[in-house]
Amino acid sequence: MSESGWNAEGAAGAHAGTALPSGPEPQETGRRPVTLTLSANDFSALEERILRAVEVVRRERQARAAAEERATRTEAQLSELTAHIEQSEKELGMLRAERDHVRERVDRLLAQLDALEL
């Protein structure tokens, strides 16, 4: 297994147990350079985790787009159904008024028939 060496200032806590000092501590800056070694297996594992994370984000974005599309279609259907319900309520009101009118006419006709039988 080959190892890659990275020079990273301030990366001492980036990968536990892999930070090694590269030489004597410089007096001017107050910071000491750190060499971070990362094995090929560690790098492959990191790469796999990143690829899985990218795939999760991709799936979530697709799911979000699908959900937004379903919401848009549902809103359109709701709008159509609301219009249909309003039309049906108007028709129902007209049919009830017509029924009441017919009932009144029948009551008048029955009253006239009752008056004839006397």
Nearest in space to 6 (alpha carbons), one of 35, 47, 43: 35
Rounded to whole angstroms, the Cα distance separating 36 from 59 reads 34
**Each residue's pLDDT tens digit, 15-72:** 444 444 455 555 555 677 766 677 888 889 999 999 999 999 999 999 999 999 999 9
* Per-domain boundaries in the chain: 3-117
CB 37 within 8 A of CB 76: no
Calculate ∠ Cα 91-93-106, nearest 5°. Answer: 110
Q: Which two tokens stand for residue 96?
A: 């009830």
Q: Give how far Cα 69 sits from Cα of 60, 74, 83, Å.
A: 14, 9, 21
